[in-house]
Copies of this chain bind each other. A is one copy, B any other.
Amino acid sequence: MGENDDSDIIEHHVEEEMEKKGTRSHAASSSFLGSVSPSDREGHSSTQSSHRLLAYSDALISIIATVMILPVAHTKMEDNEELRESVQLLLTTKIAVYLMTFLIVTVAWAAHIRLFQVIVRIDDCLALLNLACMMLITFLPYTFSLMATFPEKILGILLFCGCVMVIGVIQSVIVLYAFSRPFLLNEQIQISENQIYYKHHILKVIMRVPLMCFFASIFSFIFFELSYVLLAIVIFLPYISQCLKWCRSKAIGQVDETPDSMLFYTYLPNEPLSKERVEAFSDGVYAIVATLLILDICEDNVPDPTVVKEQFGGSLVAALQAYGPEYLAYFGSFATVGLLWFVHHSLFLHVTKTTRFMGLLNTFSLAFVGGLPLAYQLTHEFPRNSRNELEAIQISCVIIFFAGIFQLTIWVVALYNEQETLHPYVRYGGREHVFMLAKLALYPCVALGTFFLTCILSKFSASIFHLMEITVPFAFLVLRLLVRVGLALLRQIFCPDRPDPRTVVEEEDDETRVPFNALVT
């Protein structure tokens, strides 16, 4: 590199960051550079793009969100015990704790996204403050599970509220610090005249949660049931308030009271949520979940040399045969989680803007995905053709079904507002649209089919389930072909002699070609 490409590098830095926020910022990027006077930018050579800090935070949060599935997965179930009872025992405590922790952590994560949609550049001080914040967020699941295990003790409540309050205080310090150095802020706020108003609005929103936790911790000394009500309100507050606002705006058609330029901290269901971070968080969760079983296998299923010598007559093959079902469970769950990730990846490839509501649906989908390895492991822990095995298989199907259905719902929500949220070539009516729909519908349909088949042919449930596991990856591989054949068949059946649909399809073909033509010309 030469001497004279300094400007190139800085521009590259700025571009990189603009890139993250989609197409809208592209137009604004020149005004951003123009808005900051040279004297402002001088001496801030220590400011950095926040990209990697956020990627690291996403990785940490996604690990923490899925961690409470481990106590569920490691609950030992005896073969002769009825699965129904064990599952009900699990359902009441550990699964509920897992789901609640997942929700709490994703609420914290959404707050983190909102914060760093306002603050787009960081310096060393902000990076260190964020690490402190992360440390407390990773401690949240533990305090929550203490609270859930000892609901009548105030220590759990105090610890949980303490964590949330400290997180809130750190986030407020981050906001104050960033507003004292405006070059760290989003360019929209940077050029705005209402900077003070924004600061107060954001601080108000952030401090609401720790304040309620403060009251909850005080009430815990007097009347601890009330603190739980307060905490429940805290967690569901954004969803409640956004539902109410959305209903009101739909019913009365009322204009929102926040200024038009206030895109952040609105709690509207179509408030933008950084697509990149939703992807990074989902990638983290899928990656952890896909490897959950191999972690156990690596730790527990390397037989002890002395045991092999004494119990299996030195035959390693015989010793490993006992673990056969666990390898099968691992490959099955890895393939299913991997394919669900693949569908998620295809879906978000077509999405241009993620909204809060889509983020919520994604959270639900991920929460079910987190339960998959557990369900797969259960399918192999019981004797063949037992009632337990059948139920474990059916639970696996139900989990796959819901994980898939929520992905499909994201697509439906995106279609509902397709002008804003989807690339033009996948909008309603094109061939890519049909293909995407087929991809999203494959897992729910297969899961539903397997569920009902196992109800009818309960004797062959294990074989049906394994057959499903093996065929689905190949179905994805030839899906494009299947969709074409299916469309052709439908056309043959419903309108065998009308020429119109064919021309409609050709028109669609033209439509899908548009981007490339437009690019070339």
Residue of B nearest to A439 (CB): B124
Contact with B along A280-294 (1 / 0, CB 8 A): 100110111011001
Complex Cα distance, B6 from A342, in Å, reads 25
Complex Cα distance, B53 from A135, in Å, reads 28
Stretch at the interface among A125-133, A204-212, A223-231, A364-372: A125-133
With A42-B513, A283-B52, A316-B156 in contact, do A338 and B131 touch (Cβ < 8 Å)?
yes
The interface residues of chain B lying within 8 Å CB-to-CB of A320 are 146, 155
Complex Cα distance, B140 from A60, in Å, reads 25
The interface residues of chain B lying within 8 Å CB-to-CB of A19 are 15-16, 19
The interface residues of chain B lying within 8 Å CB-to-CB of A146 are 302, 316, 320
A41 within 8 A of B: yes
Cβ contact within 8 Å between B138 and A419: no
Min C-beta distance of A278 to chain B, whole Å: 11
Min C-beta distance of A129 to chain B, whole Å: 9
Instruction: Tell me the dominant secondary structure on chain A's binding face.
Output: helix
Footprint of B on A, CB under 8 Å? 1, 3-12, 15-16, 19, 23, 26, 33, 38, 41-43, 45-46, 48-49, 52-53, 55-56, 59-60, 63-64, 67-68, 70-71, 74, 124-125, 127-128, 131-132, 134-135, 138-139, 141-142, 145-146, 149-150, 153, 155-156, 279-280, 283-284, 286-288, 290-291, 294-295, 297-299, 301-303, 305, 308, 316-317, 320, 330-331, 334-335, 338-339, 341-342, 345-346, 348-349, 352, 419-420, 423-425, 432, 473, 476-477, 479-480, 512-520
Ordered by A's residue number, 22 sampled pairs between the chains whose C-beta atoms are within 8 Å are A3-B424, A8-B23, A9-B23, A9-B424, A10-B515, A10-B518, A41-B516, A43-B513, A45-B432, A46-B432, A48-B349, A56-B283, A56-B345, A59-B59, A59-B287, A63-B287, A67-B295, A139-B294, A139-B330, A142-B298, A142-B302, A146-B316
